[in-house]
């Protein structure tokens, strides 16, 4: 049974004219966004600002995590023209900061890392001043894949821990907590100048002690940025919400994370790419 949303989880209606303008550009260029495919609650707000988080390598994921709304099954072949179209979309939307994520492609020999590199290069060739943040799957922890993506020199490398280790078996059953930590640690070893970022959802049944332990694990590997948001179940077939965390508790977690050394975004509607440009700007002020 779905829990009724509390008042703090209700959004205002955005400027629909600008939302449709963004949708039209994405549709014309045949591009996917995690905003639409993952049913993000911030889609109206972000599209009305002409921003979106691009999702490359198709819209079908090779894994089936119980928290995620993205369709799972057998993915389509890699679209070699996608990087050029994405670079064009960044130009048309006038983006000074872009976030690119993907479905997980365990079916590919390189787990999709080559497409990430091609997308970064395509964006940079058309938009040399645009800052690029990537949010990747775990590439099965393969070191050569991590090195390749590090060499592409995105401004931010993101990979989400998603939840606490005790919940992986029920929530993120095809992933491995240690592999995710190692991935973020390897990026820093290959290029210490890349800002690293991770995210965690609350309301899945985790304890405060477990959340703080995840923070400690991430700081131990020198992760710079952290996002903390409310989990919202996409459907009755997905993992249910166990608790709605109050804005006051999110603020408490923000302060605790900052005390540990993170640059943090924490709140009910925070997602890994929500207002990512603002978090990056804060990071550059503090880390430089």
What does the pLDDT read at residue 1? 47
Q: What are 90-120's pLDDT values in tens digits?
A: 999 888 999 999 999 999 999 999 999 999 9
Q: Domain containing 140: what range?
A: 10-287
pLDDT band for position 224 (cuts 50, 70, 90): very high
Nearest to 162 by CA among 249, 261, 38: 38
Q: pLDDT > 90: what percent of the chain?
A: 61
0.75 surpassed by pTM: yes
| 4 within a domain of the structure (yes/no) | no
Structure tokens at 60: 């079908």
CATH number of the domain to which 95 belongs: 3.20.20.70
| Of the listed ranges 58-62, 122-126, 254-258, the one predicted with least confidence | 58-62
Q: Which two three-digit tokens encode residue 229?
A: 């948001």
pLDDT at 36: 66
| For helices 82-93 and 113-126, angle between their N-to-C axes, nearest 10 degrees | 40
Res 286: pLDDT:
79
Please check whether residue 1 lies inside any domain of the structure: no
Q: How many domains does the chain have?
A: 1
* 246 domain-assigned: yes
18 part of a folded domain: yes
Q: What is the mean pLDDT of residues 45-59?
A: 78
> pLDDT band at residue 238, thresholds of 50, 70 and 90?
confident
Tokens for 287, please give them.
């880390």
Q: Mean pLDDT for the chain?
A: 89
């Amino acid at each position: 049974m779905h829990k009724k949303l509390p008042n703090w989880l209700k959004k205002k209606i955005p400027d629909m004219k600008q939302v449709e303008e963004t949708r039209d550009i994405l549709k014309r260029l045949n591009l996917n966004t995690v905003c639409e495919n993952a049913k993000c609650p911030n889609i109206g707000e972000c599209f009305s600002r002409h921003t979106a988080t691009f999702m490359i390598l198709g819209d079908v994921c090779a894994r089936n995590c119980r928290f995620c709304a993205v369709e799972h099954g057998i993915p389509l072949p890699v679209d070699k023209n996608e990087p050029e179209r994405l670079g064009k979309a960044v130009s048309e939307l006038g983006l000074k900061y872009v976030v690119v994520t993907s479905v997980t492609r365990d079916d590919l020999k390189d787990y999709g890392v080559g497409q990430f590199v091609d997308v970064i290069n395509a964006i940079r060739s058309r938009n040399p001043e645009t800052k690029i943040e990537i949010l990747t799957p775990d590439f099965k922890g393969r070191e050569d894949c991590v090195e390749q993506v590090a060499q592409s020199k995105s401004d931010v490398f993101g990979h989400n821990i998603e939840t606490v280790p005790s919940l992986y078996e029920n929530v993120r059953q095809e992933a491995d907590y240690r592999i995710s930590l190692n991935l973020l640690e390897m990026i820093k070893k290959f290029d210490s100048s890349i800002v690293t970022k991770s995210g965690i959802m609350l309301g899945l049944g985790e304890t405060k002690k477990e959340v703080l332990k995840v923070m400690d694990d991430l700081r131990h590997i020198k992760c710079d940025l952290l996002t903390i948001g409310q989990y919202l179940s996409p459907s009755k077939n997905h993992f249910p919400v166990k608790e709605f965390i109050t804005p006051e508790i999110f603020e408490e977690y923000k302060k605790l994370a900052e005390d540990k050394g993170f640059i943090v975004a924490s709140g009910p509607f925070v997602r890994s790419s929500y207002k990512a440009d603002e978090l990056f700007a804060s990071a550059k002020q503090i880390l430089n």
